[in-house]
Amino acid sequence: MKAVITVIGKDMVGILAKVSGTCADANANVLEVNQSVLQEYFAMVMLIDISAMNCSLDKLRENLDKNVDGMQIHVMHEDIFDSMHRI
């Protein structure tokens, strides 16, 4: 089982570190990261493995919101993207 984390907002130091740190605390393995910085805006999409996670997806989102201040963060199960964009 995988989930997708997206982080969008103003670029600053340590975003990737905080997000991946929070994932590590939840025992979620980071599988892929795709990030870009356009002018001062930061956009990142991260694919994580949630099969061995020690907390719920909802809790992970809460922790991310707490740890990574001022960014727009979404945590969604990968099935929603698969079902929408793949036949």
Partner 1 sequence: MLNMNDILETITMIQEENLDIRTITMGISLLDCADSDIGRSCEKTYDKICSYAEHLVSTGEKIEKKYGIPIVNKRISVTPIALIAGASGGDPVRYALTLDKAAKQTGVNFIGGFSALVHKGFSPGDRRLIASIPQALSETEFVCSSVNVGSTKSGINMDAVALMGNAVLETAECTKNRQCIGAAKLVVFCNAPEDNPFMAGAFHGPGEPDCALNVGVSGPGVVRAALAKMDKGSDLNEVANVIKKTAFKITRMGQLVGTEASEALGVPFGIIDLSLAPTPAVGDSVAHILEEIGLEQCGACGTTAALAMLNDAVKKGGLMASGNVGGLSGAFIPVTEDAGMIAAARSGALTIEKLEAMTAVCSVGLDMIIIPGDTPADTISAMIADEAAIGMINSKTTAVRVIPAIGLKEGEELDFGGLLGKGPVMKVNTKSPSGMIARGGRIPAPVQSLKN
CA distances from 10 to 22, 40, 42, 54, 82 (A): 19, 6, 6, 30, 28
Sole binder of partner 1 in the list 45, 49, 55, 63 (CB under 8 A): 45
E-strand stretches of 1-87: 2-10, 29-38, 41-49, 72-77
**Is residue 12 a contact residue for partner 1 (CB under 8 A)?**
no
Scanning 13-21, 22-30, 39-47, 63-71 for contacts with partner 1 by CB under 8 A, the matching segment is 39-47
C-alpha neighbours within 13 Å on the C-beta side of residue 83: 5
Q: Which stretch binds partner 1 (CB under 8 A): 10-18, 22-30, 50-58, 63-71?
A: 50-58
List of residues contacting partner 1 (CB under 8 A): 4, 6, 32, 34, 43, 45, 47, 56-58, 61, 74-85
